[in-house]
Structure formats: structure tokens, C-alpha cells
Amino acid sequence: MARYGKKAQEKVRKAVKKYKRGKLKSSRSGKIVKSRKQAIAIGLSEARLAGGKVSVQTRR
């Protein structure tokens, strides 16, 4: 069973692709993202805002 919906997978795929090209920036500071994990987190966040099927974000 897929962990995320199609829309979420697409958003994450696009974010990771941008990260690999060195074009992905964090939203607030505008700095270039240097971590693959952060690129995935940004993709999931965008999917949540777009209304995709994504698990609830955990707070630490």
C-alpha cells in the first residue's frame, strides 16, 4: 500500500528534482536546500497545502 497519494508523490518528485539541479530554496530564508531529507519535507508540505493524501505532520 502506498504511503502517500499520487498528488503527494508528484510534488515530492518535483521537489527532489529541483534539489538535484540546485534550484530548490527554503521558503522563509530563500537559502538553497542542501539536504535530500529537507527536499522531501518541502515536497510533502506543498502536497499538504494542495490537499493531497499525506499523513499528519508530527511535531517534536
Residue-range definition of the domain harbouring residue 46? 6-50
Identity of the amino acid at 35? S
Residue 25 β-bridge partners? 32
pLDDT by residue, tens only, the chain of 60 residues: 567 888 888 999 999 999 999 999 988 888 999 999 999 888 988 888 888 777 776 667
H helix count then E strand count, the chain: 2, 0
Cβ neighbour number for residue 34 with a 10 Å cutoff = 11
Which triple of cell numbers denotes residue 59?
Answer: 511535531
Q: Is residue 25 part of a domain?
A: yes
| 4 in Cβ contact with 54 (< 8 Å) | yes
Judge whether 44 lies within some domain: yes
Q: What is the pLDDT of residue 1?
A: 54
pTM: 0.77
CA distances from 24 to 16, 27, 33, 58 (A): 8, 9, 6, 23
Count of domains forming the chain: 1
Q: What integer pLDDT is reported at residue 17 of this predicted model?
A: 95
